Amino acid sequence: MGNINLELFESKGNVLTEYKDNLLYMTTTRKTMTTRFNSPELKRDSYIYIKKFFKLPLRVDLMVKIDTPGLYVFFGNGHLNFGTPWSDNRRMDDIVEPNSKPRSFDNYIPMNEFVNISIIYDLKEMQILINGEERYYSKKEKYMKSSLFKEMNEDGFELKIACDKRTEVYIKTVSVREFEDTANIVHSDDLLTVKEQTKEIDEKEVIKHTFESCTLNLPVDIKAEVVKMDGFLKSLKPMKFKRQIEKHGNKITYVASDYGFSYGILPSYDTMHHELQWYILTNCKPEFWHRKADMMEETLNELAKKDLLLAQRMFDNLNECVGCSPCVVKTSYNFNGRKKIVCHGQMELKMKVSDFEDVREFINTINELLASSS
């Protein structure tokens, strides 16, 4: 087929798209089941797709840019994740018989830069290239020996693209090339296996992480915001925040234990996201789990008196429950005539300067409410 006309892509679910200046822009407006891969029962519900089915052997090439994690490419029943955090341990699955088990590959891509992603599904080989560098190679994919493959390949596989909530995706080109017999994969002998990569990580010197080491690789503007946030939280009264560094350097948590409130920064090399919540106390039987307090609605309403648009943005940032499992900690919040069922009562923010500014104003409003009531 070759290059695909980007204007032919259609959207499904909570996706916004715009074709402008020869680029296809997309984003997702709420958390969806699309990016949950821990169960085959969770169906994809938000993505863009092309109304055509493709047959192996083939090669998919994308030139794409994202501003924050992450990007997801679906082909058949499988998925490939790009630019996702270190904690993502289900970065890929089989196109015919997925099993939702942990599988990994080096899926790093820089933010805010166009990258070339090549995905090659041959009949007896598979390869992933990023900017021409081999990141994954295998002769042992399940589809290669599956009894279901022949019939599915005759019908063809569908290509879909998705992203995390509020991630901004810019697609410059998408091409799909089908081959008669083979895609002629050229394999690099230098590529480490996943087991070898994991062993290298395990053998690295264990260090005691500090605030500085956790933020070392973040972009300059984002690191400055993290440092500014650290000083801001330490300055507050009556809220008193204690900073905690996770031993592997994967999370910086600020806890105001007197009020049952926490704010966390989760760095992942040169990316991060942050979150806040009135946390749940779980040192008892599940039926007695509770919060010390929950001022979410009160804070949003107070914030709306000063800046309604900001309050609406913060409400939109609440992490929607997608029903991924039976849950006793989902929380219902109401604001300005709208209602949300929220996963763990948590609000999730992106790696954007404006999000840090919004968080500081939100937490400052909490602090003012507490000060006025003391």
Cβ–Cβ under 8 Å, residues 297 and 335: yes
pLDDT tens per residue, range 316-333: 999 998 776 666 678 999
Same domain, 166 and 291: no
Q: How many domains does the chain have?
A: 2
Predicted confidence at residue 204, as pLDDT, reads 45
160, 13: one domain: yes
Let me know: does 228 contact 357? Beta carbons within 8 Å: no
Range of the domain at 314: 211-373
Q: Is the dihedral of CA 274, 278, 284, 289 positive or negative?
A: negative
CA distances from 51 to 8, 95, 144, 159, 161 (A): 8, 18, 25, 9, 13
Q: Are residues 121 and 270 in the same domain?
A: no
pLDDT for 327: 67
- Output the pLDDT for position 297: 97
pLDDT at 328: 65
How much is the pLDDT for 202? 45
Q: In sequence order, what DSSP letters do the residues of 8-34 get, joined into one string?
A: G-EEESSEEEEEETTEEEEEESS--GG
Per-residue pLDDT at 199:
46
- Do 178 and 319 fall within a single domain? no
Domain edge (last residue) among 183, 202, 221: 202
- Pair 64, 132 in one domain: yes
Residues 163 and 223 in one domain: no
Render pLDDT for 283-300 as a digit per residue (tens, 0 to 9).
777 776 778 889 999 999
Ranges under pLDDT 70 in the chain = 1, 33-36, 38-42, 190-206, 288, 324-328
List, in sequence order, every residue forming a beta bridge with 27; answer none if it has no partner. Answer: 16
Q: Which of 236, 227, 228, 222 is nearest to 365 (CA)?
A: 236
Regarding whether 230 and 98 lie in a shared domain, the answer is: no
